[in-house]
Amino acid sequence: MWRVSDCAEGDFSEKWLMNSNRFLLSSLAALFALLMAPAARADSSVEQAFQVARGAVNPNVQTHVVSIYGTGAPDSIQKWYIIFYDPTIPSHGRAVLVSSGQIVKTYAANGGVVYRSELSFDPARMTPEGPALAAAQGYAAKHNISYDSVRALLKQSSTDRPFRWRIELMDANVSHGYVYINALDSSVASYAPAGSSETASTETSSSTAEHHGNVESDANDFGTDVKHTFLGIGGDLQEFFTGERTVDKQ
């Protein structure tokens, strides 16, 4: 015998099935959208990275920075290696790796260099990397230099030299040269081709004398001074990721 309750139960089952299907479809759609969405880059500014890194060192060395080295995309940095002057370590350098706003590793910087106290700088002099990266992009576009990543270095090379960012332009892990950016106003100071000890051109020189005197020689001296620093950092990176060290042992 047919009953009203049978009809009600049938309607309820049908509605429940329809709602379940809708929920399943919407869940699958959300999951698909999540999977297809581009992965967010873990960018961080040099200021943010420094504030994190300073917590890994003693308060008495927090205001003595030897160098700041970052790797990332042309317009942003994903990993920062900050070296503090620490006389309790044989190399006088304590490195802190910061990625995604977190300390990944703290270790003695053993790149074969003994860092000098007089070349450390107060982090109050640190300038944002964004304008420096933008200036490097502008220079690269003007001179048709293609690159897909950068290596940024902020370091006091001498007590009487300008404070500058050095932006290395990388394409498929091959260097396409260095753009030197004045830290104070983010203007391009000079450019040095990869593997060259001399700058190929300058953006701020107003005369031939200035080009061959101040700007070019300064960049040349800076490049010589940071050579061992880069070897040391390269050795530290190799040892960190592979457990071996050959870059600076040749």
**First CA to last CA across the chain, in angstroms?**
95
What's the token pair of residue 3?
Answer: 């009953």
Cα separations (Å) of 6 from 13, 112, 229? Answer: 11, 86, 83
pLDDT value at position 51?
A: 95
- Per residue in 31-62, pLDDT (tens digit) is 444 444 344 446 689 999 999 999 999 999 99
pLDDT value at position 245?
A: 53
Q: Whole-structure pTM over 0.85, yes or no?
A: no
- Per residue in 128-165, pLDDT (tens digit) is 999 999 999 999 999 999 999 999 999 988 888 889 99
Q: How many residues does the chain have?
A: 250
By the 10 Å C-beta count (0-12 exposed, 13-18 middle, 19+ buried), 244 is classed as exposed
- Per residue in 197-214, pLDDT (tens digit) is 543 333 332 222 222 222
Please state, rounded to an integer, the average pLDDT across all residues of the chain.
75
Residue 4: which pLDDT band, with cuts at 50, 70 and 90? very low
CA–CA dist 99, 24 (Å, integer): 37
Domain ranges of the chain: 1-37, 46-242
Nearest to 96 by CA among 41, 58, 43: 58
Q: Going by DSSP bridges, is the β-strand pair 102-108/93-99 parallel, antiparallel, or unpaired?
A: antiparallel
pLDDT value at position 202?
A: 33
pLDDT value at position 112?
A: 79
CB atoms within 10 A of CB 43: 14
Determine the average pLDDT of the residues in 19-36: 51
- Per residue in 163-187, pLDDT (tens digit) is 999 999 999 999 999 999 999 999 9
What is the dihedral sign for C-alpha 25, 26, 27, 30?
positive
| Least confident among 74-83, 88-97, 195-204 | 195-204
- Percent of the chain at pLDDT > 90 equals 53
pLDDT at 64 over 50: yes
Instruction: State which amino acid sits at residue 37.
Output: A
